[in-house]
Amino acid sequence: MIWSRGVLRPRSRLLLLGAFGLWISGCPVLASTIKEQRTTPAGQLVIEQVDEGPLGNEFYVYLAGKTILHSKLGDATTEFSAFPIPHLFAYFGESMNGVDAVAVFQQFNWGNACDGGPVWFLGISRDGNFKKSNSVEFCGPPETTVKHGVIHLIRSEAGQASPPKEWIYSGGKLQKVKSAR
């Protein structure tokens, strides 16, 4: 190294690279983990955990590299801050309701007494456009069925005499079906 005009200049580029490499190796690196991945008509649908927690506190959902969802436990500036863990619950690869595929997600929290949390849908078009639905609160696993090209989301109340609650996914939205009672 040579001191010249108030600047320390290395005699060798290898020495500079070595010093830089040592500095970089001391920096913390956040590891990300791909939790789920699915090929869709618009490209890859990916759920990525970006923190180092054993079960995860911060996640992104991407479609063809575009951010669909960012959730982080306790961060009210993100969606589902109380239920940050997204899970691809179901996938329908056929065209319906003006989209080419539909992904159904359920959010989880690893400290929750319920087996599950909010459910939301993602309508995916071949051209890369997408429509994220509103969410429905759930405690337990949902049931999804397709009837006449329409996806039905059903929540049965365990131990309840009341009929199950039902929503349909149409036009990018979850709409509650009125009970016959």
pLDDT at 6: 52
Binned at pLDDT 50, 70 and 90, residue 27 comes out as very low
Here the tokens at position 113 are: 């007494």
Cα separation of 151 and 78, whole Å? 27
pLDDT(164) > 60:
yes
Parallel, antiparallel or unpaired: strands 85-92 and 66-72: unpaired
pLDDT at 23: 41
Cα separation of 108 and 100, whole Å? 27
Token pair 């349909």 is found at 168
What would you report as the CA-atom Rg of the chain, rounded to the nearest whole angstrom? 23
pLDDT(177) > 60:
yes
pLDDT at 147: 84
pLDDT(21) > 80:
no
pLDDT(133) > 50:
yes
> Residue 172 — left, alpha, or beta (φ > 0 → left; ψ -120 to 50 → alpha)?
left
- What predicted TM-score, i.e. pTM, was given to this entire model? 0.78
pLDDT(12) > 70:
no
Cβ contacts of 43 within 8 Å, gap of 6 or more: 63, 64, 65, 128
Count CB neighbours of 103 within 10 A.
Answer: 24
Q: What mean pLDDT comes out for the span 38-59?
A: 95
Q: What mean pLDDT comes out for the span 62-69?
A: 97
Residue spans of the domains in the chain: they are 1-28, 31-176
* DSSP conformation letters of 38-72: EEETTEEEEEEE-S--SS-SEEEEEETTEEEEEEE
Tens of pLDDT, residues 88-121:
999 999 898 889 999 999 999 887 677 788 999 9
Q: What mean pLDDT comes out for the span 22-42?
A: 73
Tens of pLDDT, residues 134-162:
999 888 788 888 887 789 888 876 656 66
Token pair 């990300």 is found at 32
Q: What mean pLDDT comes out for the span 53-73?
A: 95
pLDDT at 140: 77
